[in-house]
């Protein structure tokens, strides 16, 4: 595969791609045993985003976060199906929640690592262009996230459980963005943020939320290509269809 190396804002920066693969995939309704290993256009789901990172020329190593020893063996078998081009690969044990898995992975990065991309393996369609745009942004601004603007009308209700005859509050759609992954950060900053989350017993849903707990701001990089997260069997079919559209 051709590598399109991009000029770096900081030539001394080295980046690691943390790939989160330890999730249980409970919403796949037993269609597949492990969604990150499910076949997608001839390759396991995991391999597609790995190949996008390799093609970007932006990363120097991978950290794969796994669930247990049995899954690690299956992930190793999946990765043997693609050419990692000699890129170093580390393994990190996942935690009970996503935030625990990220914290574990951040904690084992080598001293030479200056920046990290944090990516859900269940987003196999991330594009090389998106990774390169994130790389430019994180080197400049220290924190960047791939996201797309919300197009639906979004309403907020007073109580989550009360759906009957409830008040509907309009939200300004022009200010709403839906977060994706990868999310990229200067390693010292995001490690400090996750240390704070860990020590304080906080619960967060993504990495930008962790960054915000210590006052870090984040640059939004607009996602111009579909980058869906596979959570249901229908998502897997949709991702397969999208991949077919990309083929020449």
- pLDDT tens digits for the chain (248 residues)? 333 334 344 557 899 999 999 986 555 455 567 999 999 999 999 999 999 999 999 999 999 999 999 999 999 999 999 999 999 999 999 999 999 999 999 999 999 999 999 999 999 999 999 999 999 999 999 999 999 999 999 999 999 999 999 999 999 999 999 999 999 999 999 999 999 999 999 999 999 999 999 999 999 999 999 999 999 989 999 999 999 888 76
- Going from N- to C-terminal start, the domains of the chain cover 15-147+179-246
Predicted local confidence at residue 118, as pLDDT = 98
Predicted local confidence at residue 246, as pLDDT = 81
Distances 27 to 32, 61, 170, 233 between C-alpha atoms, Å: 10, 30, 30, 8
Reduced to 3 states (helix: H, G, I; strand: E, B; else coil), residue 57 is: coil
CA dihedral 40, 41, 43, 46 (to 10 degrees): -40
150 burial type by CB count under 10 A (0-12 exposed, 13-18 middle, 19+ buried): middle
Q: What is the DSSP letter of 9?
A: S
**Complete DSSP assignment for 162-228:** --TT---EE--GGG-EEEEEEEEEEHHHHHHHHHHHHHHT---SSHHHHHHTTT---EEEE--S---
C-alpha Rg value of the chain to the nearest Å: 18
Predicted local confidence at residue 30, as pLDDT = 56
Predicted local confidence at residue 213, as pLDDT = 98
Rounded distance between C-alpha atoms, residue 46 and residue 37, angstroms: 6
Q: For the structural domain made of 15-147+179-246, what CATH number should be given?
A: 3.90.550.10
Contact 104, 18 (CB under 8 A): no
The dihedral region occupied by 21, where left means phi > 0, alpha psi between -120 and 50, and beta the remainder, is alpha
H-assigned helices in the chain: 45-56, 69-79, 98-107, 128-141, 187-200, 207-212, 233-246
Rounded distance between C-alpha atoms, residue 161 and residue 167, angstroms: 12
Predicted local confidence at residue 1, as pLDDT = 34
Predicted local confidence at residue 7, as pLDDT = 38
């Amino acid at each position: 595969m051709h590598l399109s190396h991009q000029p770096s804002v900081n030539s001394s920066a080295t980046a690691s791609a943390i790939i989160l693969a330890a999730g249980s995939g409970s919403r796949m309704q037993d269609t597949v045993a492990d969604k990150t290993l499910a076949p997608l256009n001839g390759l396991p789901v995991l391999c597609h985003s790995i190949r996008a990172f390799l093609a970007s020329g932006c990363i120097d190593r991978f950290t794969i976060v796994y669930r247990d020893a049995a899954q690690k063996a299956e992930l190793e078998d999946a990765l043997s199906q693609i050419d990692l081009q000699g890129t170093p690969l580390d393994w990190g044990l996942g935690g009970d929640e996503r935030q625990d898995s990220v914290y574990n992975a951040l904690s084992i990065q080598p001293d030479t690592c200056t920046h990290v991309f944090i990516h859900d393996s269940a987003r196999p369609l991330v594009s090389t262009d998106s990774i390169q745009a994130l790389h430019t942004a994180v080197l400049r601004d220290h924190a960047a996230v791939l996201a797309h603007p919300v197009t639906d009308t979004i309403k907020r209700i007073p109580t989550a459980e009360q759906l009957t005859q409830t008040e509907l509050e309009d939200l300004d759609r022009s200010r709403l963005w839906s977060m994706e992954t990868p999310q990229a950060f200067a390693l010292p900053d995001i490690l400090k943020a996750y240390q704070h989350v860990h020590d304080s017993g906080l619960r967060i849903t993504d990495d930008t939320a962790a960054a915000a707990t210590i006052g870090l701001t984040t640059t939004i990089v607009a996602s111009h290509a579909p980058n869906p997260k596979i959570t249901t069997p229908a998502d897997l079919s949709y991702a397969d269809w999208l991949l077919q559209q990309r083929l020449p």
